[in-house]
Amino acid sequence: MSYIEATDTSLRKTGQIKLHGASGFAGMRKAGALVAKCLDELTDVVTAGVPTSRIDEFVRDFAFSHGAYPATLMYRGYRYSTCTSINHVVCHGMPGDRALKEGDIVNIDVTFIVDGWYGDSSRMYVIAPIARKAERLIEVTYEAMMRGIAAVKPGATTGDIGHAIQSFVEPQGMSVVRDFCGHGLGRMFHDEPNIIHIGRPGEGVMLKPGMFFTIEPMINLGKPHVKILSDGWTAVTRDRSLSAQFEHSVGVTATGVEIFTLSERNGEKPLATT
Ligand code: MF3
Ligand code: CO
Ligand code: CO
């Protein structure tokens, strides 16, 4: 895997890892902050009886009224401004008529393009009260993401990130989804490298200052296997066990990591807000 100064590259996927400078960090901070604000405000929208289509409308209107564009809208044929993944849906749940009800847990994944930069983040929301095992799943998933982020610094590898997540999750009897991964991003939605949420220390791609990527582990209460429904998008657990996910967009700094999609309100831990 080779690296290239981002200013010298086109907007295409080149097979090289882009290394961004100060203007890239500034662009990602702005995009990430807007996504975090939208996810904060969703806390008040996500309530019992609300269909996921209303969440989608909120995200779309929020984007357009803040000069942003929802990156998923018309992306590879996807027609919505967000993904809403309820209970055993692992990711890419499509908004629709389904009304949220007591006991549901739902991941809402928002990606905005702001001045050409992509901010990508997701959180879990709950319709209280939820089962204790669902609470534990959400806590473990959030902690798994944060441990993955804590492994990020120059000289570390993508395997270190995966190992930090896998070695925390599996001893608790939960599993890490293999079929989807984090991804490089910046002025593109999905770029090099893939960030796999399992791994061994020292393996994979070396992290360097200026790399931007997401960490977005999907954790299942049961087995890791997923299947895609006939709509071509919705990924569900094969064993119908509950699944949770959190996602942040991060940048590698000279000494460690910067999280671009942090919440000012710290509203991302759902159990703190219900
Ligand atoms: N936001 C998702 C991610 O974290 C991608 C969704 S693509 C879509 O990478 F088309 F399903 F919306
Ligand atoms: Co992502
Ligand atoms: Co996302």
In a domain, 54, yes or no: yes
Residue 242 CB less than 6 A away from ligand 1: no
- For the cut 60, the answer to whether the pLDDT of residue 227 exceeds it is yes
Question: Which is the closest atom of ligand 1 to the Cα of 109?
Answer: 1
In a domain, 270, yes or no: no
In a domain, 155, yes or no: yes
In a domain, 70, yes or no: yes
In a domain, 264, yes or no: no
Max avg pLDDT among 3-17, 91-105, 256-270: 91-105
In a domain, 74, yes or no: yes
Confidence class for position 267, pLDDT limits 50, 70, 90: low
In a domain, 17, yes or no: no
In a domain, 16, yes or no: no
- For the cut 80, the answer to whether the pLDDT of residue 194 exceeds it is yes
Measure the CA angle with vertex 100, ends 98 and 105; round to 5°.
115
Question: Which is the closest atom of ligand 1 to the Cα of 180?
Answer: 9
As a whole number of angstroms, the longest Cα–Cα distance in the chain is 52
Residue 72 CB less than 6 A away from ligand 1: yes
Residues spanned by the domain of 246: 3-9+22-259
Give residue 14's pLDDT: 81
Give residue 266's pLDDT: 67
Mean pLDDT of 119-123: 98
Mean pLDDT of 222-248: 98
DSSP state of 246: -
Residue nearest to atom 12 of ligand 1 (CA): 72
Give residue 13's pLDDT: 80
Number of domains in the chain: 1
Residues flagged as binding site: 92, 109, 120, 183, 190, 216, 247
Residue nearest to atom 8 of ligand 1 (CA): 72
CATH number of the domain residue 140 falls in: 3.90.230.10
Residue 120 CB less than 6 A away from ligand 1: yes
Tell me the three state secondary structure of residue 52.
helix
The CA distances from residue 16 to 2, 12, 154, 175, in Å, are 5, 10, 17, 31
Digit-coded pLDDT (tens) for 45-95: 999 999 999 999 999 999 999 999 999 999 999 999 999 999 999 999 999
Give residue 274's pLDDT: 43
